[in-house]
């Protein structure tokens, strides 16, 4: 089994974004780390055609779900996409491709060369991306997004209470480097005693990043090597505009980050043509320009 692989769960609406991610991996993957991408079985042929010429290893989401006999594929497919994708991402480890994997989103993009050492510590444990969220909170306070702080604090408190872990609150950021040993510990120490599947846990507590992080902090199945975010993450369009106005682009970001992630809920680049009417797109463009002027 390899030490490390790269993994992305995608679907047809993110086809072009996923292709852009694959291109960046092909350009900067110095050691040829294997890159797996899973999509719904119905989307496989579409992705095969679009990713021709890349080194992506395509899998179906259903093959990952089926690796856990406690899961019912029909029930999971019936869940909202935001829930079901967390299940698929977190169960990839069961296929046995690697001891650790970098879990990437389709809207991520590498900006410079990377190798296994960027993700794996000297003792073989993965680096754990974790912060207290101070930079994000400062931005949200400045631009009046008070609900963000409240929601994150609530989610962290719920996670700590569930795992009975006292102490500071942490945010576990993407892309995450996940260890199979942590997921095995969750299964052994939490899911089996409770008599539930991972899918049932996610439905009750839909925060896979926090689940992984809290299990690591509670049970310490691997050595904790904390690190700051590997990618620059633009959660909000205003953050992106803030940097753009200060001439901070990809060239500047690559000095401190392996890549960039512009969240797809606002980033229209690489997502194909819009199915909205011209008037609707015009209104959106005007609103974006107003936000740009306001940062």
What's the mean pLDDT in 126-134?
A: 95
Q: What is the pLDDT of residue 289?
A: 42
Strand 98-104 to 57-60 pairing = unpaired
What digits encode the pLDDT tens for the residues 82-95?
A: 999 999 999 999 99
Whole-prediction pTM value?
Answer: 0.88
Task: Output 289 or 107, whichever has higher pLDDT.
Answer: 107
Specify the fold of 2-294: Spore Coat Polysaccharide Biosynthesis Protein SpsA; Chain A (3.90.550)
Contacts of 33 (CB under 8 A, 6+ apart): 4, 5, 6, 115, 116
Q: 295 pLDDT band (50/70/90 cuts)? A: low
What digits encode the pLDDT tens for the residues 246-292?
A: 899 899 999 999 999 987 655 555 444 445 555 554 444 444 444 44
Closest C-alpha among 217, 237, 197 to residue 73: 197
When mean pLDDT is compared across 24-28, 100-104, 271-275, the lowest value belongs to 271-275
Task: Output 6 or 240, whichever has higher pLDDT.
Answer: 6
Question: Where in the chain does DSSP place strands (E)?
Answer: 2-9, 35-39, 57-60, 98-104, 108-110, 127-131, 171-172, 176-179, 225-227, 231-234, 259-262
Task: Output 145 or 258, whichever has higher pLDDT.
Answer: 258
């Amino acid at each position: 089994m390899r030490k490390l692989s790269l993994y992305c769960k995608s679907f047809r609406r993110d086809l072009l974004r996923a292709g852009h991610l694959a291109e960046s991996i092909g350009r900067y993957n110095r050691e040829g780390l294997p890159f797996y991408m899973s999509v719904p079985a119905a989307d496989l042929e579409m992705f095969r055609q679009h990713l021709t010429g890349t080194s992506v290893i395509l899998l179906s989401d259903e093959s990952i779900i089926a690796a856990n006999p406690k899961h019912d594929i029909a029930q999971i497919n019936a869940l909202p996409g935001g829930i079901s994708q967390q299940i698929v991402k977190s169960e990839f480890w069961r296929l046995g491709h690697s001891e650790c994997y970098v879990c990437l989103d389709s809207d991520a993009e590498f900006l410079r060369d990377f190798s296994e050492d960027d993700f794996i510590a000297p003792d073989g444990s993965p680096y754990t991306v974790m912060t207290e969220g101070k930079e994000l909170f400062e931005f949200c306070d400045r631009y009046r997004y008070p609900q963000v702080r409240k929601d994150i604090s609530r989610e962290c408190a719920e996670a700590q209470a569930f795992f009975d872990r006292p102490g500071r609150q942490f945010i576990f950021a993407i892309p995450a480097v996940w260890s199979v040993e942590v997921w095995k510990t969750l299964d052994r120490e939490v899911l089996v005693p409770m008599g539930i599947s991972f899918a049932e846990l996610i439905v009750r507590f839909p925060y896979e990043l926090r689940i992984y992080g809290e299990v690591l902090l509670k049970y310490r199945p691997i050595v904790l090597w904390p690190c700051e975010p590997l990618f620059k993450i633009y959660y909000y369009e205003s953050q992106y505009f803030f940097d753009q106005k200060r001439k901070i682009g990809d060239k500047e970001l690559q000095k401190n980050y392996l890549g960039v992630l512009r969240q797809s809920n606002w980033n229209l680049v690489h997502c194909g043509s819009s199915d909205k009417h011209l008037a609707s797109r015009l209104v959106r463009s005007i609103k974006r320009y107003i936000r740009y002027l306001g940062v």
